[in-house]
Amino acid sequence: MFNRLKDNGNGTITDLRTGLMWTKDANLAGKKNWQDALDYVASMNKGVVKNFGYTDWRLPDKKEIASHGVHYAWLSSHVFTNVQSDGYWSSTTYAGDTSYAWFVGMHDGGVYTFGKSYSNYVWPVRSGQ
């Protein structure tokens, strides 16, 4: 199951099953509110902060980030660096209240809503090749 993750040797990891490319460092930006998380990813695409040679980074959607949460212990000890057990933002706004967005709690893989003005971690993703 986990042999599907390939270290690209350039600060990124590719999920061979989904084709998604993640930053190897799961804590590049620290905790940010939702809008600042979106702005951070935009700054990656502009080359303002490290972008690993790509200009199509984004916040993962709810399903993409949730796929990581269920394997937090393994992710944090074998493939990725600086994986935080707290929540990571998704790009998905909560339809029931647009002042909330979905995030995943890496400690339990649960997907929850959280006010966009609060801080969670940022884990950029791109669609890969």
Report the CATH number that the domain containing residue 12 is assigned in CATH: 3.10.100
Q: What tokens appear for 10 in the block?
A: 């350039």
User: Cα–Cα distance between 126 and 21 in angstroms, integer?
Assistant: 5
Tell me, what's the pLDDT at 1?
Answer: 46
Q: Give the angle subtended at the CA of 64 by the CAs of 112 and 39, to the nearest 5°.
A: 80
pLDDT cut 70: percent of the chain above it: 88
Tell me what the mean pLDDT of segment 33-38 comes to.
98
Which domain, by its residues, includes 98? 2-126
pLDDT of residue 21: 94
Pair 26, 82: CB distance under 8 Å: yes
- Share the mean pLDDT of the chain: 88
At 42-81, the pLDDT tens digits run 999 999 999 999 999 999 998 888 776 555 555 665 688 8
pLDDT recorded at residue 76: 60
Quote the pTM value.
Answer: 0.89
Overall number of domains in the chain: 1
Return the pLDDT at 75.
63
Q: How far apart are the first and last CA of the chain?
A: 21
Comparison of pLDDT for 20 and 106, the residue scoring more = 20
Quickly list DSSP for 9-66. Answer: SSSEEEETTT--EEESBTTSS-EE-HHHHHHHHHHHHTTSS--TT-S--B---HHHHH
